[in-house]
Structure 1
Amino acid sequence: MVEVGMNRLAGATKSAIVVPVSEAEVVVGPHRRVLDHTAAWPVPAHVTVLHPFVAPERITGNVIDDVWACLAAIPAFTCAFSNVAWFGQDVVWLAPDPDTPFRKLTEVVWRQFPACPPYRGAHSNPTPHLTVGSTHLADLAGMQRAAIDLAAKLPIHARIDRVHLIAGADAPGSWRTVAEFALPPTPSTNVAGDC
């Protein structure tokens, strides 16, 4: 099932496909508000599937249908965020376990939209992660304090059953959910298909 709000594209300059992780919000939310610039946009605690995605002015009903066609083959799943990790000293993040279903989501959507490589192709094999803070907003000492605090509060268990198409600009309060895709129930075999 897809819920669509095409009028939510007004003023948007960017879009992304993300997996919101509401179960993590209570734990990471206080840290994200001071360490992650996207929290003010407001983008929820999430794992990115594909960013950047299609330019907002090119998002049509057909684009949304194509995203849904890919996602309909990936069943809902559970995961745990049990480890704090770093990209150098620039980004502190939580690692999902397993990360394979997130990789599969990226793979099938990117296959359908090859002109939208993850992170503009900067990483040949992007690592699924939930960003807590980055040097876009935070300093290293603040991120290190958050990492220590978070390590004591893990694991966070999450049920992943929704994917969002979001759009906005580099401005507080500008990001909105354009479409919400419910992943199908987990089959007894738990094997993800291809788009």
Structure 2
Amino acid sequence: MGEFAALLDLNLRQLSAVLSTGRLSLEELEQNQCIGLIELLTMRLIDECEELSAEDWVVCSAAIDYVFCVAEKRKSIDHEEGAIRRLNISAALLRRVAPRSEVDLLAPGHVVDLLLRELPMSVDEARDMAARWQSLEIDQIRRLRLMKNLLSPVFGISDVIPRHIYDSGLKAWMGIFSSLP
């Protein structure tokens, strides 16, 4: 508990600096503390995002990556929840600050790549299943719902996604988004 309490007292830049090195052994934290750390870092990052320098962004992005990696490794969150949370963080940030290609959290291309990697099926398969979702088994409906949860944050920032990336990766998904359960 002492290590976690000490982390809570750090400001965003201090916390990010400690976490970005990957040297802090978060494996000693309890599972719920890993979630708490993700939420603390996310909250502080979104609250202070407009004040960060280019160097701060690199450090904060590395800190986010490290915390999610540890939380997934410790099974505090599963991979799908981690992806949804990462996409939501990027979406929240991109509604407040300009895109930055050198920072994964703020790079629309990276955000779309993450989304497309995590979608559990093709757009054609999703379109077919979405048209008859009420007759599907619960596991299939959950997969469709997962897709909607992955797509939602990205569609909320579609105006900052370059047209060529949008057209090549997202346009087809936009057409079926509203039919997903």
The TM-score normalised by the length of structure 1 is: 0.22
Larger C-alpha radius of gyration, 1 or 2? Answer: 2
Higher relative contact order (CA 8 A, sep 6+): 1
